Chains A and B, each alone.
Chain A
Amino acid sequence: MRKALISGSLILSLFTAKSQTGLVDVDLEDVIVTADMKKRDEAAAGTKVTRISHDDIKTNLTKSLSEILLESSPIQIKSMGQGALATASFRGASSSHTQVMWNGISLNSPQLGNFDLSQVPIYFVDDISLYHGGSAQKEGSGALGGSINFSNEAYYGDKPSGSVLLEAASNETYTGGLNLKFSKNGFSSATRAYYQQSENNYRYLNKVFSNVHTYERRKNADYKQAGIMQELYYKTRKGDMLSLMGWWQADNRSLPQSIIVYDMAHEKNNSRNLRTMVAYDMKRKNHALKFSAAYLHGSMEYTRSFGEMVPDTSNNINSSMIAGADYTYSGFKNIILSGILTYRHDKVESDNYISSKERNTVNATIAASWRITKKLHIDARIPLEWNDETYFARYNVSGRYRLIDEWLTLKASNGYNYRVPTLNDLYWNPGGNPYLKPEKGFSSDFSVMTEPTFGTTHLKLEATYFYMNIDDWIMWVPKGNGYIWEPVNFNNVISQGIEFAGDLKFATGKISHIFSGNYAWIRSVDNSYRQEGTQGKQLPYIPRNRWNAGYRFNFNDKLRLHYNASFTDARFTSADESYQTEAYISHNAEVGYNMKLKSKMNIDFSVKADNIFNAYYESTQYYPMPLRMFWGRVIYSF
């Protein structure tokens, strides 16, 4: 069967390759121009894309991916606190409906279906893009809500470049980082190393355990995180690019408990992850071909100990092998055709499974991108997936129409997507349900965008309405006496809402200002009749309203100020809306000064305050977040 699929895909690729040659207009929306290479944006023409600015990335170098997304995007982050599990969800979907891609490779755990964003130090990231919507992702299924794409970029500067970073925070967090880049004769290397350790003993106000509200310090939330990433690139004279990347990371963290629970035991989670990939990009006239392969290996040891007793331990090891080819033909006038073939093998060995489990997935996608006129651009994709002897088909059609040049652009997309149950959903012991069906559903969105420029002032505003209708939504519910949970397929979940995003940039002399903001209103409701009193109710942990807004001030690339506020509405924590966490706003500010030394050397000082107004808030119910915290950082770069 596998042979048949591979053969079919090759035939398809050959078919698409047979075509007339012709020039294609390059649509600026579709191309990200980086220092020395061009890569096609994977998002379809009508997809809403949020790009995290390089300024935001630079400001948050020692934060995790989850923290920067909370401040700078409209998506929902559910976090157990600094250094602890953090997951993201788009548009009222769940965290397992968010695909997290590193240089085009899905990092989602085959066990859990989601990805822990706290494991990604921003120091290891050059570019972050969010694709909103259920069918925006070109490769693989599962992104019912959207996808987070972070990537690295090859360095081709004249001289070696690098930086050394040191940071300390008031919750006894200490961070060090090293980054070295150089290139010569088409060869480029980038090495990054990162270490962070934290007692994470921040102060919070306990308002829930008793009537006496007391300031306490968080216990059992300490963690250590170390990682190293090596990138090697080689660019041939023909412009082909060979990329080799390796990323090893270790996380040792204590798992703090909810403050409504009083458990004398200590829980720890130690994980090790090795992620490697190799890719070869080549382009010949109208043909572009990319081969890639990746190997991901992760181990996680969970221990629960009490006093002198022998700790309970459980181990989970998962490994994934991914290989793929992505072919693009741009020989037709105004039409780009592409075909993608990927194979993925996942294997999980877990103390919580009766035996080790494996999964094979083959994905074949054909796609066409048709620029009908200079104003109208349409994309269509049909991905087919074979997943352990089960076939699925998806589709996505999207388009963009520039109605009035930069003043008014309309975008729309519609697609059908699905997500297969995770291996934990199927095989976790006790509770796994091998009879689960995949989640599947339609999603649509419509956007209006304006992006005018007046001299040095640039404004971008985008408003989007989205609608998702997902059948067989998987949810874990209590079984038996309530201490054992099992996943079941719920009937139907409908999520719809409105998103606004805006940026205003202008400069006067040496001073530049950037205002940015995001707002999302989401109504994500359970339409099933399995549970009494939950029909038509908002899904747990999906806030109806969320916004964030930021202001950046920069004087002559020396003095800078950044202010950011983010609001998360009350979130129900039960399916019948009986229980909720409070709404909150967190205000953060940073002041930085960049001192230029000789040549290209700089020393950058910055001080940051998080939660300036001491807001009490819980990212997850009864997991209090820190009151005001301070960070101080020095970066030496050359």
Chain B
Amino acid sequence: MYHAMSRKIKSTAIISAFFCAISCTEKAEFDSPENLEDIRAVVVSEGQFGYGTSSLTSLSYKGDVEQDLFRRINNRPMGDVAQSMTRIGDLLYVPQNNSKKIEVMDCRTFESVETMRINEDVIPMYVCHLGGDSIAVTDQKQNSRLIIMDINHGQERDVVRRTVSLGGGNRSFQMNLAGEKLFVGADKMCVFDLSDLTNKGMRYIRTQSGETIQTVDFSKIVSDKNGMIWALAYKYIGLNTNGYLYCIDPATETAVMEIDLASISINTWTSSLDISADGKTVYFNSHRRVYSVDTDNPQIPTQPVISPVRSDGRTVYNMCVSGENTIFLCEVLYGSLSRSRIYEYDLSGNELREFRAGLFSHFIYFY
């Protein structure tokens, strides 16, 4: 009897000890980024659709790279399919299109300030500050709406003030605020007066022949040094598309110049447009070939500024121009979940740096 009890006690003790030894689990914690002092740029990556792996990667002036800033600092995922980054004061706004929210964070610490949930059937893409406490957010959904939101953070409020229909079949993307007018890149590019942000107040931008303009999906709408608006666009010709570069007079809201890019293959969603810091030169890309156009003397470019050759199967997902007039290419490898590679080139075509960011890097914000 004693031996039986002893065996029981031993068995119980052994198993209990086993439980105790391995039952202490630690919550996953992330190391904090070391270098947030001299950030030059932040790369926004979409992440894997549906998996909540959108991320931010910082590049410092020294060349240090920090991955996954938001998650490491806030100890939670940033969201699903991040699209862009807009700075308003000291805050950064990052729309997450499959989470239907905008993460708002401090531009220096990346600590979360607010999560602005959008209880609407929309795909939030880009943010534009309308002044005061209002922002406009574009929507990639067909029959899209412009979402007007309240940024009085820390106050109880309805974060979505109202939405403005952009008309049938119209998806909307990047925006540009020129004076008192808001230009919206879309399947039918449109413009609003800030004083009348309504569907009735919406006008389509038209070419001189009266056609509407379909902008390249994720391409910027930029203003040059003379205040003219530039947009990269395309038209369907049969089943194929043809690229165009438009210069738009914000006063007349019509394209005063149309540059036919038939000789350059413009992709309807991976080509991008950007402008030099001095507003004199616009740049756009066809895959890795980046072309420039002088805004004072626009000509159809015949030779690319840079045209790096690599046979790694990667695709350029975005092209940006930094404040130092260097060109950044975000390259992704379709058919895999490999991290994106970011390349920086000077205007002579020299590769200045290469670093990795998150999955499907799609946007770079320069500080």
Could you tell me which A residues sit within 8 Å of B by CB distance?
207-212, 258, 260-265, 306-307, 457, 477-483, 486, 488, 504, 506, 508, 513, 515, 517, 530-534, 547, 549, 551, 565, 567, 570, 573-576, 578-580, 582-585, 621-622
Distance from A337 Cβ to chain B, minimum over Cβ atoms (Å): 44
In the complex, whether B98 has a CB less than 8 A from a CB of chain A is yes
- B52 near A258 with CB under 8 A, answer yes
- A488 near B335 with CB under 8 A, answer yes
Distance from A553 Cβ to chain B, minimum over Cβ atoms (Å): 11
- B7 near A261 with CB under 8 A, answer no
Given A210-B115, A306-B121: A585 touches B23 (CB 8 Å cut-off): yes
Contacts of A573 in B (CB 8 A): 51, 53
User: Which of B7, B18, B52, B67: most chain A CB closer than 10 A?
Assistant: B52
Pairs A-B, 3 closest by C-beta atoms = A260-B52, A210-B115, A262-B100
In the complex, whether B350 has a CB less than 8 A from a CB of chain A is no
Give Cα A565 to B19, complex, Å: 9
Contacts of B49 in A (CB 8 A): 478, 482-483
- B25 near A260 with CB under 8 A, answer no
- A532 near B333 with CB under 8 A, answer yes
Given A530-B336, A584-B25: A260 touches B19 (CB 8 Å cut-off): no
Closest B residue to A569 by beta carbon equals: B25
Contacts of A580 in B (CB 8 A): 28
Given A208-B76, A573-B51: A582 touches B28 (CB 8 Å cut-off): yes
Give Cα A109 to B119, complex, Å: 37
Closest B residue to A622 by beta carbon equals: B52
Distance from A311 Cβ to chain B, minimum over Cβ atoms (Å): 14
Give Cα A153 to B86, complex, Å: 66
Given A482-B334, A517-B18, A532-B333: A565 touches B23 (CB 8 Å cut-off): yes
- B337 near A477 with CB under 8 A, answer yes
Given A261-B50, A532-B339: A578 touches B25 (CB 8 Å cut-off): no
Give Cα A211 to B154, complex, Å: 13
Distance from A165 Cβ to chain B, minimum over Cβ atoms (Å): 31
Contacts of A207 in B (CB 8 A): 76
In the complex, whether B74 has a CB less than 8 A from a CB of chain A is yes
Give Cα A585 to B23, complex, Å: 7
- B76 near A531 with CB under 8 A, answer no
- A531 near B337 with CB under 8 A, answer yes
- A481 near B74 with CB under 8 A, answer no
In the complex, whether B187 has a CB less than 8 A from a CB of chain A is no
Interface SS of chain B? loop
Could you tell me which B residues sit within 8 Å of A by CB distance?
4, 7-8, 11-12, 15, 18-19, 22-23, 25-28, 46, 48-53, 67-68, 74, 76-77, 79-80, 98-101, 112, 114-115, 117-121, 269, 333-339, 359-360
Distance from B20 Cβ to chain A, minimum over Cβ atoms (Å): 11
The contact sample of 5 A-B pairs, CB cut-off 8 A, is A209-B101, A260-B79, A481-B269, A506-B8, A508-B8
Give Cα A579 to B337, complex, Å: 12
Interface SS of chain A? loop
- B52 near A210 with CB under 8 A, answer no
Given A481-B269, A506-B4: A583 touches B25 (CB 8 Å cut-off): yes
The answer, among B67, B98, B339, for a CB contact under 8 Å with A261, is B98
Contacts of A549 in B (CB 8 A): 15, 18-19
- B337 near A575 with CB under 8 A, answer yes
Distance from A528 Cβ to chain B, minimum over Cβ atoms (Å): 10
Contacts of A478 in B (CB 8 A): 48-49, 334-337
Distance from B14 Cβ to chain A, minimum over Cβ atoms (Å): 9
The answer, among B7, B53, B74, B119, for a CB contact under 8 Å with A457, is B7
Give Cα A212 to B76, complex, Å: 11
Closest B residue to A210 by beta carbon equals: B115
Contacts of B15 in A (CB 8 A): 504, 515, 517, 549, 551
Contacts of A504 in B (CB 8 A): 11, 15
Contacts of A570 in B (CB 8 A): 28
Give Cα A264 to B117, complex, Å: 12
Closest B residue to A580 by beta carbon equals: B28
- B51 near A574 with CB under 8 A, answer yes
- B77 near A260 with CB under 8 A, answer yes
Give Cα A532 to B331, complex, Å: 13
Distance from A60 Cβ to chain B, minimum over Cβ atoms (Å): 21
- A531 near B336 with CB under 8 A, answer yes
Closest A residue to B12 by beta carbon equals: A515
Contacts of B119 in A (CB 8 A): 264
Additional A-B contacts beyond A578-B68, A584-B25 (10; CB < 8 A) = A210-B101, A210-B112, A260-B52, A260-B80, A262-B98, A306-B121, A515-B15, A574-B53, A576-B337, A582-B25
- B336 near A477 with CB under 8 A, answer yes
Give Cα A515 to B27, complex, Å: 28
Distance from A415 Cβ to chain B, minimum over Cβ atoms (Å): 31
- A621 near B52 with CB under 8 A, answer yes
Give Cα A530 to B334, complex, Å: 11
